[in-house]
């Protein structure tokens, strides 16, 4: 990474690598990755909590599957899911939901590939917690879902934020699935914009190493900023003064 940053920011310094097109690409990637991380938190926090309390081989396998298959397969699967040749696809198309070359398709692909990272991190967090507060809330008649959102999530907010930021970082790095389903998007304000990983791949093919390295170094700076945010969130969650563990 240091060599990449040195050559991209000092040696090559290609103007095209620092252009408005690259900035748009980074903005699209950050937006889609943040949206995916938010959806992953909303959709899969209950699953992570359930797995931390009860073993379920089927759910465990389903949670790990997206991380164990080539990611172009994820993109192809989403295309099939949204195709008019399938009942689900016909329904989605009838209500105007289109995954191909769309922001929603990009976000859904990022949700699929980043969910395993979040689920495993949150599962480990929940498993390490003392269950005393949960048992007390259950004795008062609270449901498991209410216990999760009124007791566990508030007290684990920083650690869950850290897990979400890590899954967001994974989403930012994705290439295989989005190169198939969202090579570029057609919706404003991102009409014609390519995700960051796709743009670097395209620049390398069209313009060569210098432009690709310059664009890559620019994008790496944003990834480093995100990882710093993750470390800060983890450090604060472990600070006894802040009520962490």
Query: Has residue 245 got a pLDDT over 70?
Result: no
Q: Across the chain, what does the average pLDDT equal? A: 89
Q: How far is CA 219 from CA 157, 172, 214, in A?
A: 28, 10, 9
Mean pLDDT of 122-131: 88
> Is the pTM above the cut of 0.75?
yes
The alpha carbon of residue 93 and the mean position of all alpha carbons in its chain are separated, in whole angstroms, by 25
136 pLDDT band (50/70/90 cuts)? confident
The alpha carbon of residue 236 and the mean position of all alpha carbons in its chain are separated, in whole angstroms, by 22
Q: What is the CATH topology of the domain spanning 31-206? A: MetI-like fold (1.10.3720)
Q: How far is CA 87 from CA 28, 59, 82, 121, 197, in A?
A: 31, 24, 9, 35, 32
DSSP conformation letters of the chain: -HHHHHIIIIII--TGGGSHHHHHHHHHHHHHHHHHHHHHHHHHHHHHHHHHHS--HHHHHHHHHHHHS-HHHHHHHHHHHTSTTSHHHHHHHHTT---TTSHHHHHHHHHHHHHHHHHHHHHHHHHHS-SHHHHHHHHTT--HHHHIIIIIHHHTHHHHHHHHHHHHHHHHT--TTHHHH-SS--STTSTTPPPHHHHHHHHHHHH-HHHHHHHHHHHHHHHHHHHHHHHHHHHHHT-GGGT--
Mean pLDDT of 92-121: 92
| Chain segment 50-88, per-residue pLDDT in tens | 998 888 888 888 888 888 899 999 999 999 999 888 898
Query: Has residue 182 got a pLDDT over 80?
Result: yes
Mean pLDDT of 170-192: 93
Query: Has residue 100 got a pLDDT over 70?
Result: yes
Predicted local distance difference test score (pLDDT) of residue 244: 46
Predicted local distance difference test score (pLDDT) of residue 240: 47
* Out of 25-39, 129-143, 159-173, 225-239, least confident range: 225-239
């Amino acid at each position: 990474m240091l060599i990449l940053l040195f050559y991209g920011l000092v040696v090559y310094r290609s103007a095209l690598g620092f252009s408005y097109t690259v900035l748009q690409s980074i903005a699209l990637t950050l937006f889609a990755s943040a949206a995916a991380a938010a959806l992953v938190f909303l959709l899969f926090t209950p699953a992570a909590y359930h797995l931390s309390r009860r073993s379920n081989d089927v759910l465990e396998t389903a949670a790990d599957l997206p991380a164990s298959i080539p990611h172009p397969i994820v993109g192809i699967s989403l295309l099939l899911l949204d195709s008019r040749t399938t009942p689900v696809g016909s329904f989605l198309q009838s209500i105007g939901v289109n995954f191909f070359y769309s922001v929603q398709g990009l976000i859904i692909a990022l949700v699929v590939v980043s969910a395993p990272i979040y689920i495993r991190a949150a599962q480990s967090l929940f498993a390490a917690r003392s269950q005393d507060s949960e048992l007390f809330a259950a004795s008062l008649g609270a449901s498991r879902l209410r216990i999760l959102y009124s007791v566990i999530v508030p007290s684990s907010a920083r650690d869950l934020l850290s897990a979400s930021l890590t899954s967001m970082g994974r989403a930012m790095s994705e290439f295989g699935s989005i190169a198939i389903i969202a090579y570029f998007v057609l919706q404003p304000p991102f009409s014609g914009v390519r995700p960051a990983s796709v743009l670097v791949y395209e620049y390398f093919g069209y313009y060569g190493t210098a432009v690709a390295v310059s664009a890559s170094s620019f994008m790496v700076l944003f990834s480093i900023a995100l990882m710093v945010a993750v470390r800060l969130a983890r450090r604060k969650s472990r600070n006894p003064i802040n009520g962490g563990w």
